[in-house]
């Protein structure tokens, strides 16, 4: 935890109300997000009990598996979920825009993408598990399922995997999104409880956040947001209802399970839309749109892969796939960190406290300074900034600045309160700086050792040329044959 | 480890065995504890391979390591033609000038017998395969980097120190945990999981660590393989030619000179990372050390310990910057554990990674970090820490999630930390109360 976040938590505790950690919203919010709350049967790894989902706060759809241990019922439930989710996803694929690229063919990108908001990390993991259990199923042969089930599995897998991509907003978890913007007076572990987190941020009138959070811990008032349900409810309400269904298999018994589950999900459903409202009330950070564009591009390209009949996502990444995903994620993480700090002075303040960034006024500027001789002569303006921040950076460090995106400077020296910088990139071509590119004396500036500008990584070998050090080329994908429907479950 | 053989003979036998294994296997791995002559081995193997007439590529991890290797190659094999691939903005240091052909692309280099570059640079150099490669600091290389360069060579010698810092990433790599090609594992770990038959040799003697340090470091960080010091107890000695002032700082420095170790212990307290008192203590110790005009006696003879033979180490960059700002004598190196890897000094002063902390995270418990910090010295190591670290460790047993198929890693960071602290407690000097 950063010093700034620790301070915010102490203040939250003292004042009894959550403190802001961000001045703008760093998560993109779709105009028509889908809220999805999954519940799992206790004691089973991947047995869905219910899902409450929908895009309209007034009309949640509730899907229930009256006997989650029955696999036929599970996949019937998956088909129902597909009926709910796939039309939402497909409706967003229709409108596209043409994106021009420098040095490459223009391509088509969907103008919007699905956004699945789940309550917490556990729910996101369960969505991934649900994807894992459905994407390899097939519509014909033994144990056939409805054709929409494997398709649902691929989409759930895509959304869950993309949800782990730094800066992505395709499948945010509500507790994580809220914790990014507010600090509460409780531990990070307690923040994973959606009801108590919202209690801190938005307590009912006449109540402190601390009191609201305490009340939220009573599972009778605020049932857990899933995927695990309250053990008391399981034992006293759910188990008898499922047993009754098991014995009679009547519509009446099914309705009993359904109503029991509804009572557990409806409070969370209302909380989820309150979370959406809280986030929507924050102004969007400038970097959100760019990151959402990347999400839309990922969505478009996955839809295209599906249309071309690509096989389901592999259970594990191959050697080359893993390395390339890691490179993409590292790049996205660095870029996300830099954009958040550039977009938000409060996030930048955290870096200023650790000495990785500083803010001050320009005390001296030499915009026409050059380095080198003859043809190698280059424009290298010098700027001296007076700052009272505790700068802890080594000479030679590359710095970026929120005021002039794309510009890069190099730290030359620190002398007491004076920091001297050399601008090395983004000040204009030739021997004269673009007017305004070099900050003038008296201007307030901020520089940080955070860059949102990356060299593309070196190419990886194609998978079929995986070298001997990494086990050689992987075997080609073969769909499981009908004779051996047994799957390897390791 | 007891053996009747003199250390030099024992080490030479291992090197001969490595060279003999080279033509017989597709890959050979050499584990080298701190200061065990890894660079000497790399340079010797380079000469040996180049003598066969086959071109050789050498992969190092940082530009500094590449430069060091070129200097060593030029010293040991003056007749060997060496090329250096580098980035466009690489500034040629003086020590490398004239010792290698330098270029950004392979054709620019002519056709040297040996080409040296960083792994990042090699990843861009396609279009040719090499019969031989030497991969230096292979335990610090992430396996995804090896994946980018492994297509360039047919056979390779992998050399590195398994006790140092593991490669890391800013993103969560849980999804690959347990895969044999986990990109976050070290190059050697992945290589050996796919090729378990490759021979693994171990250099048995540390020439850097004194007899006072080798058993401590060996036991804590290399519990199963072990190594010994190249010098006998008493063969190395540190003495001060200027008198001290009987302060706690002087006591700590005298203890370090006498026994090779000192723990300068500040009162227990939870602090921010850049603990002002600890930072101050580190800076004063470094200054006082040089004021006392130390002289080192060793197998290399009698030498004054000058500022360039002293290093200060810490876990975090902001700590390094804070120590720098606190005022160190000119010429003293101060850096993070990551950057001190592979370097050697007479005396080191380190800020303990767990000093003043409330919690012991995986980062701070990583055995490699403490191993690097406590194994850079030829004579003595002074550790600055707040009291209460053993209690902190007891309150934070390692509780990492157990992942399937992940090989158990030794040493355990928690245990290694306890082992080092247990030894340091015998050399404890209480800090003077602050005024």
By Cβ distance, the residue of B27, B172, B318 closest to A392 is: B318
List the alpha helices (DSSP H) in A56-173.
71-91, 121-134, 148-163
As a whole number of Å, the CA-based R_g of chain B is: 22
ipTM of this complex: 0.90
- A374 sits in the region (left: phi over 0; alpha: psi -120 to 50; else beta) called left
Q: Token digits for B147?
A: 């994946």
The pLDDT tens digits for A71-108 are: 999 999 999 999 999 999 999 999 999 998 888 889 99
The rounded distance, in Å, linking the Cα atoms of B200 and B14 is 11
The rounded distance, in Å, linking the Cα atoms of A320 and A465 is 9
DSSP for residue B291: H
CB pair distance less than 8 Å for B175 and A468? no
CB pair distance less than 8 Å for A323 and B144? yes
Residue B248, classed as helix, strand or coil, is: helix
Q: Is A214 on the interface with B (CB under 8 A)?
A: no
The pLDDT tens digits for A401-446 are: 999 988 999 999 998 899 999 999 888 777 788 888 899 999 999 9
Chain B closest CA to A467's CA: distance in Å?
Answer: 6
- Under the banding of pLDDT at 50, 70 and 90, the label for residue A399 is very high
By Cβ distance, the residue of A322, A330, A461 closest to B176 is: A322
Chain A closest CA to B70's CA: distance in Å?
Answer: 24
Element (H, E) at B48: helix B38-51
By Cβ distance, the residue of B150, B176, B321 closest to A392 is: B321
- pTM of the entire predicted model: 0.91
Q: Is A357 on the interface with B (CB under 8 A)?
A: no
pLDDT of residue A50: 96
pLDDT of residue B248: 94
First to last CA, chain A: 36
Among B29, B118, B147, pick the best mutation site for testing chain A contact (most A Cβ within 10 A): B147
The rounded distance, in Å, linking the Cα atoms of A123 and A143 is 27
Q: Is A304 on the interface with B (CB under 8 A)?
A: no
* Cα nearest neighbour of A317 on chain B: B176
Of B269, B280, B276, B261, the residue nearest B392 (C-alpha): B269
CA-based torsion, B402, B375, B337, B158: positive or negative = negative
Q: Token digits for B31?
A: 């584990």
Among A355, A454, A470, pick the best mutation site for testing chain B contact (most B Cβ within 10 A): A470
Strands A382-386 and A370-371, sheet pairing: unpaired
- Report the mean per-residue pLDDT for chain A: 92
Question: How many residues belong to chain B?
Answer: 435
DSSP for residue B142: B
C-beta of residue A380 within 8 angstroms of C-beta of residue A369: yes
Q: Is A166 on the interface with B (CB under 8 A)?
A: yes
Mean pLDDT of A299-309: 95
Judged against a pLDDT cut of 50, whether residue A490 lies above it is answered with no
Mean pLDDT of A238-258: 95
pLDDT of residue A101: 84
> Which chain A residues contact residue B144 at CB under 8 A?
322-323, 326-327
C-beta of residue A377 within 8 angstroms of C-beta of residue A431: yes
First to last CA, chain B: 48
> Looking at chain A from residue 28 to 57, which residues have their Cβ under 8 Å from any Cβ of chain B?
none
DSSP for residue A472: S
pLDDT of residue A489: 47
Q: Cα-flanking dihedrals φ and ψ of residue A349, to 5°? A: -60, -35
pLDDT of residue A24: 97
CB pair distance less than 8 Å for B171 and A166? yes
Among B176, B315, B325, pick the best mutation site for testing chain A contact (most A Cβ within 10 A): B176
C-beta of residue B281 within 8 angstroms of C-beta of residue B269: no
pLDDT of residue A430: 75
C-beta of residue B207 within 8 angstroms of C-beta of residue B36: yes
C-beta of residue A427 within 8 angstroms of C-beta of residue A407: yes
The pLDDT tens digits for A14-46 are: 999 999 999 999 999 999 999 999 999 998 888
* Cα nearest neighbour of A324 on chain B: B144
Chain A closest CA to B282's CA: distance in Å?
Answer: 17
CB pair distance less than 8 Å for B194 and A471? yes
Judged against a pLDDT cut of 90, whether residue A374 lies above it is answered with no
Element (H, E) at B132: strand B130-135
Q: Is A317 on the interface with B (CB under 8 A)?
A: yes
As a whole number of Å, the CA-based R_g of chain A is: 27
C-beta of residue B264 within 8 angstroms of C-beta of residue B212: no
CB pair distance less than 8 Å for B272 and A3? yes
pLDDT of residue A170: 97
Q: Which residues of chain B have pLDDT under 50?
A: 1-3
Tell me which residue has tokens 């409330």.
Answer: B358
Residues pairing with B58 in the sheet: B116, B134
Percentage of chain A exceeding pLDDT 90? 77
* A315 CB-near residues (< 8 Å, 6+ apart): A132
> Which chain B residues contact residue A465 at CB under 8 A?
151
- Under the banding of pLDDT at 50, 70 and 90, the label for residue A458 is confident
The rounded distance, in Å, linking the Cα atoms of A273 and A167 is 22
């Amino acid at each position: 935890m950063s010093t700034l976040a620790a301070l915010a938590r102490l203040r939250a505790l003292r004042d009894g109300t959550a403190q802001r950690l961000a001045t703008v919203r760093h998560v993109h919010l779709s105009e028509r997000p889908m809220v999805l709350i999954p519940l799992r049967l206790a004691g089973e790894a991947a047995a869905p009990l219910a899902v409450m989902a929908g895009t309209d706060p007034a009309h949640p759809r509730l899907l229930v598996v009256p006997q989650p241990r029955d696999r036929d019922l599970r996949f019937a439930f998956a088909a129902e979920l597909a009926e709910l989710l796939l039309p939402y996803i497909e409706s967003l694929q229709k409108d596209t825009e043409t994106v021009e690229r420098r040095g490459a063919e223009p391509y088509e990108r969907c103008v919007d993408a699905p956004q699945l908001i789940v309550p917490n990390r556990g729910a996101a993991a369960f969505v991934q598990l649900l994807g894992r259990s459905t994407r390899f199923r097939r519509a014909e042969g033994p144990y056939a399922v409805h054709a929409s089930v494997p398709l649902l599995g691929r989409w759930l897998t895509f959304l869950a995997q993309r949800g782990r991509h730094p800066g992505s907003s395709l499948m945010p978890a509500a507790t994580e999104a809220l914790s990014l913007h507010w600090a509460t007076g409780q531990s990070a572990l307690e923040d994973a409880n959606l009801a108590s987190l919202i209690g801190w941020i938005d307590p009912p009138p006449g109540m402190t956040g601390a009191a609201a959070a305490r009340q939220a811990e009573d599972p009778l008032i605020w049932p857990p947001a899933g995927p695990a349900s309250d053990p008391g409810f399981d034992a006293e309400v759910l188990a008898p209802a499922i047993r009754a269904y098991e014995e009679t298999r009547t519509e009446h018994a099914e309705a009993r399970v359904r109503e029991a589950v509804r009572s557990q999900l409806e409070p969370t459903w209302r909380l989820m839309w309150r979370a959406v409202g809280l986030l929507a009330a924050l102004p969007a950070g400038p970097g959100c749109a760019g990151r959402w564009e990347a999400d839309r591009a990922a969505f478009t390209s996955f839809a295209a892969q599906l249309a071309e009949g690509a096989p389901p996502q592999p259970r594990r990444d191959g050697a080359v796939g893993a390395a390339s995903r890691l490179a993409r994620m590292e790049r996205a993480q660095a870029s996300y960190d830099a954009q958040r700090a550039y977009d938000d002075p409060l996030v930048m303040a955290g870096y200023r406290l650790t000495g990785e960034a500083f803010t001050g006024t320009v005390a001296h500027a030499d915009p026409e300074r050059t380095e080198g001789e003859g043809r190698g002569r280059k424009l290298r303006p010098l700027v001296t900034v007076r700052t009272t921040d505790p700068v802890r950076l080594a000479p030679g460090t590359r710095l970026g600045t929120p005021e002039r995106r794309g510009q890069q400077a190099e730290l030359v020296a620190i002398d007491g309160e004076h920091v001297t910088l050399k601008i090395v990139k983004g000040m204009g071509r030739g021997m004269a700086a673009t007017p305004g590119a070099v900050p003038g004396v008296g201007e307030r500036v901020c520089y940080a050792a955070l860059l949102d500008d990356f060299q593309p990584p070196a190419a990886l070998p194609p998978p079929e040329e995986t070298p001997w050090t990494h086990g050689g080329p992987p075997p080609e994908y073969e769909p499981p044959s009908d004779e051996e429907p047994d799957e390897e479950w390791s | 480890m007891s053996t009747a053989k003199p250390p030099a003979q024992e080490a030479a036998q291992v090197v001969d065995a490595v060279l003999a294994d080279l033509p017989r296997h597709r890959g050979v791995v050499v584990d080298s504890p701190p200061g065990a002559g890894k660079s000497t081995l790399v340079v010797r193997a380079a000469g040996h391979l180049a003598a066969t007439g086959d071109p050789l590529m050498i992969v190092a991890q940082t530009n500094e390591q590449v430069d060091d290797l070129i200097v060593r190659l030029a010293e040991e094999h003056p007749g060997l033609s060496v090329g250096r691939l580098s980035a466009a903005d690489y500034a040629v240091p003086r020590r490398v000038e004239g010792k290698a052909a330098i270029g950004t692309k392979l054709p620019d280099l002519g056709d040297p017998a040996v080409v040296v570059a960083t792994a990042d640079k090699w990843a861009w150099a396609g279009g040719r395969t090499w019969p031989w490669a030497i991969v230096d600091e292979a335990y610090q290389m992430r396996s995804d980097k090896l994946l980018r360069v492994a297509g360039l060579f047919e056979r390779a010698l992998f050399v590195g120190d398994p006790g140092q810092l593991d490669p890391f990433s800013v993103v969560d790599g849980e999804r690959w945990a347990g895969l044999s090609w986990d990109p976050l594992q070290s190059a050697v770990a992945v290589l050996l999981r796919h090729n378990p038959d490759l021979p693994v040799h171990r250099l048995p003697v540390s020439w850097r660590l004194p007899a006072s340090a080798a058993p401590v470091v060996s036991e804590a960080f290399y519990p199963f393989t072990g190594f010994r010091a190249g010098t006998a107890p008493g063969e190395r000695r540190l003495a001060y030619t200027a008198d001290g002032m009987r302060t706690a700082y002087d006591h700590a420095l005298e203890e370090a000179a006498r026994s090779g170790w000192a723990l300068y212990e500040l009162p227990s307290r939870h602090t921010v990372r850049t603990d002002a008192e600890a930072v101050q203590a580190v800076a004063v110790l470094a200054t006082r050390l040089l004021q006392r005009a130390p002289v080192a006696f060793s197998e290399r003879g009698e030498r004054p310990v000058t500022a360039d033979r002293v290093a200060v180490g810490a876990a975090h960059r902001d700590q390094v910057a804070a120590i720098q700002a606190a005022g160190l004598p000119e010429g003293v190196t101060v850096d993070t554990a990551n950057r001190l890897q592979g370097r050697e000094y007479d005396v080191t002063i380190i800020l303990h990674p767990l000093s003043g902390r409330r919690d012991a995270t995986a980062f701070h418990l990583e055995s490699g970090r403490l191993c690097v910090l406590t194994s850079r010295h030829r004579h003595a190591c002074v550790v600055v820490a707040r009291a209460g670290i053993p209690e902190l460790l007891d309150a934070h047993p390692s509780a990492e999630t157990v992942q399937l198929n992940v090989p158990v890693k030794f040493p355990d960071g928690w245990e290694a930390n306890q082992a080092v602290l247990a030894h340091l407690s015998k050399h404890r000097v209480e800090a003077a109360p602050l005024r």
